[in-house]
C-alpha cells in the first residue's frame, strides 16, 4: 500500500502551481533557508556529495542546496510540483527529478551522502515508515535534516487550545474545491496572519513581544510568504503533529544517532546521523 494520501498530493500540486515562489525574493528565501539549515553539518559532506530533497515541492530549497553539492535528487509524488521545480531549477545541471512517493523512490540503498525533508513527512499517513524508507538510502554517517510540525509541546495550554480551534477550520476548508479553498485561505492570510505578524513587529520595536505571541515567526516575512503558508496550513487535508520526544524516537527507530534539535522556530527541526 502506498504511503500517501492522493488528495493531499493533488492539493500540493495546485499549491505550488499557484505559488511557484517566483515572487519570493532571494534575500527572503535565503533567510528562511538558513533557519532550517542552521543546524545542518555541511562540513560532514564529502566533495561532490550526492543527496536528496524528499518532497521537493517548488524546488525553493533545492535551488540553494544544488550549488553546494555534486548531485541533488529532487523527489516528489506530485507531477505538478515537479513541473514547477524543473522550471525553478533549470539553471542547475546537477539536479535530477523523480516522480515517486518516498517508499518507491528509485535511489539505490546506501547511496546518499545526505538528505533533507522539510515540511513534508507530516503529510503522509505513516511518518515513521517514511523516515525508515529514506533512512535505508543513506550511507552510514550521512546527515539527515527533517522538519515536522510540532504538537505545541513547548507552548502553554491556551496556545494548544487556540490551535485546536484553528484545526477544525483547516479540516473544513481543506475539503472544499480548490477555488474556494484558495479564496478562504487568502482571507485568513489577510485578516489573521498579516495583522498578528505586524502587531508582533510593533511589540518587538518597543521591546515587549511575548514569547508565545501567535504567528510571531512571521514578524519579518512578506505578505507573499503569509499567503503561501496560509494555503499550505489551511488547505492541506492530512496533517500529523509530533512532540520533540516522538520525533527523536522516530529517528532512533529508523537507525539514526546524534540527534540534535534546533532551539528556534520553526519547530521541530532536527538533524540526525545515519548509523
The whole-angstrom separation of Cα 228 and Cα 243 is: 25
What is the pTM for the complete model shown? 0.96
pLDDT tens per residue across span 34-74: 999 999 999 999 999 999 999 999 999 999 999 999 999 99
pLDDT value of position 1: 67
Where in the chain are the domains? 6-151+241-274, 157-234
Model confidence pLDDT, tens digit, residues 217-230: 999 999 999 999 99
Percent of the chain topping pLDDT 90? 99
- Asked whether 66 and 88 are in contact (CB, 8 A), the reply is no
pLDDT at 134: 96
Does domain 6-151+241-274 fall under CATH 3.40.50.150? My reply is yes
Determine the Cα–Cα distance for residues 43 and 11; give it in Å rounded to an integer.
36
- How far are the Cα atoms of 49, 95, 171, 229 from residue 70, in angstroms, in the given order? 5, 9, 41, 31
Mean per-residue pLDDT of the chain:
97
The residue to which cell 519579518 is assigned: 220
Query: What confidence score (pLDDT) does residue 2 get?
Result: 83
The string of pLDDT tens digits covering residues 139-189 is 999 999 999 999 999 999 999 999 999 999 999 999 999 999 999 999 999
Q: What is d(CA 87, CA 178) in angstroms, rounded to the nearest whole number?
A: 23
Q: Does 120 score more than 80 pLDDT?
A: yes
β-pair partners for 269: 147
Q: What is d(CA 106, CA 270) in angstroms, rounded to the nearest whole number?
A: 25
C-alpha to C-alpha distance for 223 and 216, rounded to whole angstroms: 14
pLDDT digits (tens, 9 = 90+) for 68-110: 999 999 999 999 999 999 999 999 999 999 999 999 999 999 9
Amino acid at each position: 500500500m502506498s504511503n500517501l494520501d492522493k488528495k493531499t498530493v493533488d492539493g500540493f500540486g495546485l499549491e505550488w502551481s499557484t505559488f511557484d515562489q517566483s515572487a519570493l525574493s532571494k534575500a527572503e528565501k535565503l533567510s528562511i533557508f538558513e533557519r532550517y539549515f542552521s543546524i545542518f553539518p555541511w562540513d560532514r559532506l564529502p566533495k561532490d556529495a550526492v543527496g536528496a530533497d524528499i518532497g521537493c515541492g517548488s524546488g525553493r530549497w533545492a535551488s540553494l542546496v544544488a550549488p553546494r553539492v555534486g548531485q541533488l535528487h529532487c523527489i516528489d509524488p506530485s507531477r505538478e510540483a515537479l513541473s514547477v521545480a524543473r522550471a525553478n531549477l533549470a539553471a542547475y545541471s546537477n539536479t535530477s527529478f523523480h516522480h515517486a512517493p518516498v517508499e518507491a523512490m528509485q535511489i539505490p540503498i546506501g547511496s546518499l551522502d545526505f538528505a533533507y525533508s522539510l515540511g513534508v513527512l507530516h503529510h503522509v499517513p505513516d511518518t515513521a515508515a517514511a523516515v525508515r524508507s529514506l533512512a535505508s538510502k543513506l550511507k552510514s554517517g550521512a546527515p539527515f535534516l527533517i522538519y515536522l510540525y510540532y504538537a505545541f509541546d513547548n507552548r502553554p495550554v491556551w496556545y494548544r487550545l487556540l490551535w485546536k480551534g484553528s484545526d477544525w477550520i483547516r479540516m473544513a476548508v481543506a475539503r472544499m474545491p480548490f477555488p474556494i479553498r484558495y479564496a478562504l485561505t487568502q482571507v485568513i492570510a489577510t485578516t489573521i496572519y498579516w495583522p498578528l505578524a505586524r502587531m508582533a513587529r510593533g511589540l518587538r520595536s518597543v521591546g515587549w513581544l511575548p514569547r508565545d505571541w501567535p504567528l510571531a515567526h512571521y514578524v519579518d516575512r512578506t505578505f507573499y510568504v503569509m499567503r503561501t503558508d496560509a494555503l499550505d496550513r489551511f488547505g492541506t487535508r492530512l496533517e500529523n503533529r509530533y512532540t520533540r520526544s516522538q520525533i527523536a524516537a522516530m529517528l532512533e527507530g529508523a537507525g539514526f544517532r546524534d540527534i540534535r534539535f534546533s532551539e528556534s522556530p520553526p519547530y521541530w527541526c532536527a538533524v540526525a546521523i545515519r548509523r
